[in-house]
Structure 1
Amino acid sequence: MVMTGVALRSWRERWLQVGLFELGGLLLITPVYRWVTGEGWGESVGLLVLLSLIATIWQAVFNTVFDRCEARWARRPAHLRPWRWRAVHALGFEVTLFLITWPVIVLWTGWTWWAAAVADLGLALAYTAYAFLYHWLFDRWRPVAAERGA
């Protein structure tokens, strides 16, 4: 996919990126979430899988919009994104996702809004660090197709 002369990831590539991100996140974060909250495996896995599905859809939308804006205004593909813009990308995604998932946590767990906000903030911080590293590694492993010579 090309926009304004800068190659972008195909939808197939985007779903690979998102799917691997969410799978890795579940494997890394679920045991920690369970340990911190004291919730059982079923409750922990159920909630985090639901949040992962929400995040998967939102991540595909957010990344596509972010990449298109970057291609248009900075005229560069995602794998050439500088570190400070990687931080903006990761934080922007997590802040918007927080606003979407906070009510879901309240409804799923029955916790107070404050307790759910603390849990969601903890998840957001963990996933922000993970997202920063993951996307940098993914972009190195799978640069945008036009840059790979494909």
Structure 2
Amino acid sequence: MRQTSDRIRHAIGFELVGLLGAMPLMSILFGVDPMHSGAMGLFFSVVATLWNYKYNAWFDGYLQRRQGNSEKSQQQRVIHALGFEAGLLVITIPVMAWWFEVSLLQALIMDAAMIVYYLFFAYGYNLAYDKLFPVLGQVKAQSCSA
């Protein structure tokens, strides 16, 4: 399983890289002021970072208890990404509606665009992260069984 420092590095990297792509996209797609969307994005980034840490710790713990390790299959990676995004919807839609002074439906549409972006981003980021920073115990176990 991952250590706390590794989880913190993962969460901060995820939010920084994700925000760099999401906020210009939000500005282009919906015509909102980049500074206004950037401020909201920064707030969401803090919320998402906290959620990311808790959700990943829970998900890895669940896998550890269920299968004896936290290695994710293709299907588990998809479920992981979907669950992460679903958890954020509870907060992001009302806040987005309030921040941009739009209806909940308009906020849902805006959020849906960000969800699509982050679904692909989360999958790619987590895959790349696992390759760049493998869990040491799992690397040793894999090399011993080879």
TM over 0.5: yes
Query: 2:112 and 2:90 mapped to 1: Cα distance?
Result: 10
The answer as to 2:96 corresponding to 1:101 is: no
Aligned to 2:77: 86
Asked if the contact 1:62–1:93 (Cα under 8 Å) also holds between the matched residues in 2, the reply is: yes
AA partner of residue 125 (structure 1): V
**Unpaired runs of at least 5, structure 1:** 1-7
1:123 paired residue number: 114
Look up the match of 2:59: 66
- Tell me the amino acid that sits aligned with residue 75 of structure 1: G
Aligned amino acid, residue 14 of structure 1: R
Q: TM-score, normalised by structure 2?
A: 0.91
Report the structure, 1 or 2, having the larger helix content.
2
2:10 maps to what in 1?
17
Residues in 2 aligned to 1:74 and 1:123: alpha-carbon distance in whole angstroms: 32
- The alpha carbon displacement at 1:148 in A equals 4.7
% of aligned pairs identical?
29
Task: Work out which structure has the larger RCO, using CA pairs closer than 8 Å and 6 or more positions apart in sequence.
Answer: 1
> Gaps spanning 5+ residues in structure 2: where?
141-146
What is the deviation of 1:145?
A: 2.9
* 1:53 has 2:9 as partner: no
After superposing on structure 2, the runs of 4+ consecutive aligned residues of structure 1 that deviate more than 3 Å are none
Output the aligned Cα RMSD: 1.1
Please report the TM-score for the alignment, with normalisation by the length of structure 1.
0.89
Q: How many residues are aligned here? A: 140
Residue 105 of structure 2: SS of its match in structure 1? helix
